Amino acid sequence: MIKRSESNIYKDRKKYQILNHKISIYLKANLTIYQTRDIIRMCQLTKIFLLGL
């Protein structure tokens, strides 16, 4: 497996923080349960993806 440079890991973390921020804004905007579930699923997939890097 190719080792990623520190700057790339930092960028990925930053992207994930931005995604989390967007999700929290969406959740505050009174989404339906179904939309919320989709966002949470997307968030979990992203987390798994980032942990796998």
Residue at 3 is within a domain: no
List, for residues 7-22, the tens digit of each pLDDT value.
787 888 888 888 888 8
pLDDT at 1: 52
Query: Whole-model pTM?
Result: 0.35
Q: Residue 5 CB: number of other CB atoms within 10 A?
A: 9
- Give pLDDT, residue 33: 64
Domain boundaries, position 44? 11-51
Number of domains in the chain: 1
Which residue has tokens 């579930």? 37
Q: What are phi and psi of 19, to 5 degrees?
A: -60, -45
The verdict on residue 5 lying in a domain is no
Place of tokens 């973390």: 13
